[in-house]
Structure 1
Amino acid sequence: MTSAKSILSRRPAWVFNFVLASAGCFSWLPAVRDGRSTSLKPSTKPASRNVFALPLRRPRSTVARKPGAAPADSARLGRNPGAASGIRSAIAVPATILPILLGALNGYALSFWRPRGASLLFGILMAGAFIPVQVMMFPLVRMIGALGLFGSLAGIVLVHIIFSMPVMTLLFRNYYAALPHELFQAARIDGGGFFRIFAQLMLPMSLPIIVVAAIMQVTGVWNDYILGLVFAGRDNLPMTVQLNNVINTTTGTRLYNVNMAATVLTSLVPLAIYFISGRWFVRGIAAGAVKG
């Protein structure tokens, strides 16, 4: 049992961590509050009044939340095929599911089957994780163009798969390395093959690390700007590029409420994912995501 003395000795550290986390949380609250408030103001209010003032109640005829609809109209945010790739996750869904499946398959093969040259292959994959995106941009443009996928949905999904493979493989390899090897040996004795063991034994046991990988991949794909700008094409632009088109317009009057409304719309998905899946993320990390 844990003694009272050991509990008291840990209390100062716990209090310090709690105070530090609370201070960090409260430091973000004004920005969140002002952003949401500005996004709900009419077009004339942010420029003519105090930016920190709350939005006044508007007549029913002017329809509150109209600023939130303005970015959707001005840049067709969420209505054209490019923004639909963000809101309906036409990019995020395949760019999340495929890397997770391939990373799980790689980690499973490297952890249990150990083919010849497995250590060398894993080392090459890990080296690829440290290559900057900008260095690989031009070779990838040539390769995707040669495949005839440049400017298409398949092309941008393929690019996200390429860049996510090292991290996904590392996560699943370390997770599977922490599992009892006797389970794999028993499945082999029962006549299980490569894909049967993977589908019926390993994947059902991988839910914690799948949640971790999904959170990392969805937020990474959703927040990506440069890859979507270069490889996606006009009809598949992600939300971040659409947001830049709204905010950095060079014509007309700068509407801060419209800009903030577009920012709020773009940030909803990552925020929702972390609020809903945060507990699963911590459990997945503790279940073996960082074990080797």
Structure 2
Amino acid sequence: MSPMRVVTYAILIAAALFFLLPVYVMIITSLKPMEEIRTGAMLALPQNPSFEAWSIAWSQACSGVRCEGVAPGFWNSVQITIPSVIVSVLAGALTGYTMSFWKFRGSNLVFAILIFGAFVPYQILLYPLVRVYASLGIFGTVGGLVIVHSIFGLPLTTLMFRNFFVSIPTELFKAARVDGAGFLRIFWQIVLPMSAPIIVVTVIWQATGIWNDFLMGLVFGGREAKPMTALLNNIILSEFGERRYNVEMAATFLTALVPLAIYLLSGRWFVRGITAGSVKG
């Protein structure tokens, strides 16, 4: 054990404790009854652990006048996230493929404008989008949120796929053209099967970003299509009288459970995808 390794392990342990301590507090607080929470022993283990707060947070906690817990928001988030990820990843892959192998006059300008859209603050686009959605009759719907997330995710997914495709030898593309393969055949049979690392990266990135989104869900979700994050905010803010910290912690952890599971189960693929070329170019 060299001094440098000791320092490295010390920094890693300190960083792990820094990030894991709030998770620990959330979990043990959600398992305590309010009598134990009032004692102020925040780090103490629960004496009589119970999952009652989790049950209340899932199906009974009140968001405004509705006392249905975060369960409706969970299913809304699932319906929003899955199609949004599929559409944005496929559209980004197709656009990045076009910008890499099928360049046309002005393609660099189009790509620059597309990437510039990733740096435009979402807040300045909210009011015009709300007006457009209201006129089209899709405001407050799951489909409207899918369109929003797909559009705003396109610049980043295009950039990631284009940077990855730059690392693919152009000889493969030229050989396929000589053999008579066309635009879609090259994409589906040659380019896309080679893009598994960057597909994993973009899927993880988009899935966690869309699931954790609050602003778009709050603005475009309306009354019936609010995602889990918007319902969590309403549950915490609409409590009156005694604040049930155990219920709030349980609801918060339930909301964060899906992104945590995604990173725990596929985090190593995320790192592999990045090192395989997603930041090259």
Paired residue for 2:19? 28
Partner of 1:67: 53
Tell me, yes or no, if the aligned pair for 1:83 and 1:242 is still in contact at 8 Å.
no
CA distance in 2, matches of 1:14, 1:100: 40
- Please give the secondary structure, in 1, of the residue aligned with 2:88: helix
Tell me the C-alpha RMSD between the 2 structures.
1.8
- 2:144 pairs with one of 147, 150, 155: 155
2:221 match = 232
For 2:116 and 2:268, the matched residues in 1 are separated by 31
Aligned with 1:77 (options 64, 69, 72): 69
Uncovered stretches (5+) of structure 1, i.e. residues with no partner: 1-10, 59-63
Structure-2-length-normalised TM-score: 0.92
The match for 1:249 is: 238
Bigger drift between 278-287 and 137-146 goes to 137-146
Which blocks of at least 5 consecutive residues in structure 2 are unaligned? 63-67
1:8 match: none
The residue that corresponds to 1:7 in the other structure is: none
Q: Does 1:207 align with 2:210?
A: no
The range that moved more, 97-106 or 36-45, is: 36-45
TM-fit CA distance, 1:47: 2.1
SS in 2 for 1:74: coil
* Separation in 1, partners of 2:216, 2:112: 25
| CA deviation vs aligned residue, 1:209-243 (integer Å, no higher than 9, x gap) | 01100111011111110100001222111111111
Q: 1:12 to 1:121 in 2, by over 3 A?
A: farther
Structure 1 residues 110 and 15, CA, compared in 2 at 3 Å: closer, same or farther? farther
Which of 66-75 and 97-106 deviates more? Answer: 66-75
**Separation in 2, partners of 1:111, 1:49:** 59
How far residue 13 of structure 1 moved from its aligned partner, in angstroms, is: 6.3
**Counterpart-to-counterpart distance in 2, 1:200 and 1:44:** 62
Q: Report the counterpart of residue 5 of structure 1 in structure 2.
A: none
Cα deviations by residue, 1:236-292 (Å, 9 ceiling, x for unpaired): 111111111111124232100000011111111111111111110110001100000
Whether contact under 8 Å (1:171, 1:209) holds in the other structure is yes
State the one-letter code of the partner of 1:74. Answer: A
Contact 1:150 1:232 in 2 (8 A): yes
45-54 or 241-250: bigger deviation: 45-54
- The number of residue pairs the alignment matches comes to 275
Q: Take 2:19 and 2:152, find their aligned partners in 1: how far apart are those partners? A: 31
Listed one character per residue, the Cα deviations across residues 3-22 of structure 1 (whole Å, up to 9, x for unaligned) are: xxxxxxxx776665443232
Match of 2:65 in 1: none
Q: Which runs of 4+ in 1 moved over 3 A?
A: 11-19
Whether contact under 8 Å (2:163, 2:278) holds in the other structure is yes
TM-score of the superposition, structure 1-length normalised? 0.89
Aligned equivalents of 1:275 and 1:119: distance in 2? 38
Q: Deviations over 1:24-53 (max 9, x none)?
A: 112223222111000011233212452322
User: Which position in structure 2 is the counterpart of 1:281?
Assistant: 270
What SS class does the counterpart of residue 56 from structure 1 fall into? coil
- CA distance 1:250–1:35, shift in 2 (3 Å): closer
Map of 2:44 onto structure 1: 53
Tell me the equivalent position of 2:90. 101
What's the % identity of the aligned pairs?
Answer: 49
Match of 2:101 in 1: 112
Amino acid at match of 1:131: V
Given the superposition, is the C-alpha separation of residues 77 and 182 from structure 1 closer, same or farther in structure 2, using an over 3 Å criterion?
Answer: farther
